[in-house]
Structure 1
């Protein structure tokens, strides 16, 4: 049986986070995840999670200054202190809410110095997260949606993970981003599955419902099941209307 996690950054985004958690439970999701929950009292989030019995699988480190074009801080050579502060903020919130993973956003950067900054911050962050039993995730993001993002392919993420060498660092593999980079999703999954800590999905190329677009998720989900992968898969798509009206795929793609 395929399990699904609702990414509340996109699904039920019109609701306060605690109410979105409850809506995900009513819709039949097995877990939830979010983007940037920091304006919400963590006690309210934890209460909603306990009430519904849903685990919170992940949250993101902050973007930085979006008005200045920032999309994460961790690979920015001149923002090392801010990058660690963002990781600490995420660890604190995750610990208070019982969230298991933190997506550490690399940011827009390039080159050897950016890679060194990213690796250094991840090593420190992993050490700090380890004390709370938390896993840090890094996610390749396609360069169509976010031009200039430091981390764009699973191969690059795997190399970073190997260089950091921390047991609590893994890859967040978004099938949408991988496909948008022109890569074979199933081949990339097979290649990197041992390093993957979470999998997400959305329709390709428009990031809409997963039952629309060019990537056949019925095949992807079946392949993952055959490989023995049974963790919840993260639905991170834009519903383009009421979320409830977009959920037929939960029956048709499994």
Structure 2
């Protein structure tokens, strides 16, 4: 069964944020995700979730100073206290929103980072993820890590599937899982179906977008119907987040999702 979640940071930007939940529901989405909820009161988001009758499936931990260019705290030496606070804050929102998983963005390496600096980031990342997984386990939630391509996000610490899988194996926490974004994987690694097969047991969430422009999934070099069929065959029952930039108005571009329950015109 293919279950599609609307990424409300990218989709339905024709509406104010709290109105996007109803817009997503009217288009056939049963779940929603977005980057960050922290600009809004958790109870207000809970209310619109309930009104729209959609599930909250994912959001990110606080990323540091996003406007200044920071892209996560998890691997940043010297920011451990801030990271721990971000875990507690994210899990507080997750409790209110009944969200089963949160994503801990790895953060950026300094420009020109040498091997010693990279090793320091790696060790910090491991320590922080152990803490996050331990805190999340107390309420039965998952921590996700996501390789992000370095074309869109230069210097991002976690960029390769093999790197993510090695970290998950080293930490060995049952609730530390892979956020498998097919858009990022295609740019960095390719061979999408084989990566899905090899990493399937570690996957906690999947995201899609067309490559290379990050538009609708029916635009570009990736044939998503074949990937969805393989996911069905593998027995994937989780959510697939639609994290793409619509070429025009969101609803008009949803024709790609009609075979999976979406409605392009309402």
Q: Residue 64 of structure 2 contacts residue 70 of structure 2 at CA under 8 Å; is this kept in 1?
A: yes
- Normalised by the size of structure 2, how large is the TM-score? 0.91
Counterpart pick for 2:130 among 123, 127, 135? 123
Q: Residue 17 of structure 1 contacts residue 45 of structure 1 at CA under 8 Å; is this kept in 2?
A: no
What are the residue-to-residue correspondences of 1:48-127 with 2, within 5 Å? 48-109=48-109, 111-127=118-134
Partner SS for 1:238: coil
Q: RMSD over aligned Cα, in angstroms?
A: 1.5
- What count of residue pairs does the alignment treat as equivalent? 254
- The alpha carbon displacement at 1:253 in A equals 7.3
What are the residue-to-residue correspondences of 1:61-210 with 2, within 5 Å? 61-109=61-109, 111-210=118-217
Is 1:211 matched with 2:187? Answer: no
CA displacement, residues 67-121 of structure 1 (integer Å, 9 cap, x when unaligned) = 5431111101121111111121111111111111101000012611111101101
Partner SS for 1:89: helix
Take 2:56 and 2:260, find their aligned partners in 1: how far apart are those partners?
Answer: 23
- The alpha carbon displacement at 1:251 in A equals 1.9
Runs of 4+ deviating beyond 6 Å: none
Q: Residue 137 of structure 1 contacts residue 170 of structure 1 at CA under 8 Å; is this kept in 2?
A: yes
Gapped regions of structure 2 (runs ≥ 5) = 110-116, 262-266
Partner SS for 2:123: helix
Gapped regions of structure 1 (runs ≥ 5) = none
Tell which deviates more after alignment, 158-167 or 143-152: 158-167
Partner SS for 1:247: helix
Tell which deviates more after alignment, 187-196 or 124-133: 124-133
CA displacement, residues 171-198 of structure 1 (integer Å, 9 cap, x when unaligned) = 0000000001142111110110100000
Partner SS for 1:150: coil
Take 1:66 and 1:25, find their aligned partners in 2: how far apart are those partners?
Answer: 29
CA displacement, residues 120-178 of structure 1 (integer Å, 9 cap, x when unaligned) = 01111111111222111000001111111010111111111111111111000000000
Take 2:74 and 2:220, find their aligned partners in 1: how far apart are those partners?
Answer: 32
Q: Residue 204 of structure 2 contacts residue 238 of structure 2 at CA under 8 Å; is this kept in 1?
A: no
Partner SS for 1:142: coil
Is 1:228 matched with 2:235? Answer: yes
Partner SS for 2:6: strand
Partner SS for 1:56: strand
Counterparts in 2 of 1:136 and 1:213: CA distance versus 1, 3 Å: same
Take 2:171 and 2:250, find their aligned partners in 1: how far apart are those partners?
Answer: 38
Q: Residue 106 of structure 2 contacts residue 157 of structure 2 at CA under 8 Å; is this kept in 1?
A: yes
Q: Residue 2 of structure 1 contacts residue 232 of structure 1 at CA under 8 Å; is this kept in 2?
A: yes
